[in-house]
Amino acid sequence: MSRKMDILTEDLVTLPQAAKGIPCPAGSRPPHYTTVYRWTKTGIGGERLESIRVGSQLLTSTQAMSRFLERINIEAA
Per-residue confidence (pLDDT) for residue 67, from 0 to 100: 94
Instruction: State which residues of the chain have pLDDT below 70.
Output: 1-3, 75-77
pLDDT tens-digit map of 45-63:
999 999 999 999 999 999 9
Q: What is the pLDDT of residue 57?
A: 95
Q: Where are the domains of the chain?
A: 12-76
Query: Model pTM?
Result: 0.85
DSSP track, 6-70: -TTTS-EEEHHHHHHTS---TT--PPPHHHHHHHHHT-BTTB----EEETTEEEEEHHHHHHHHH
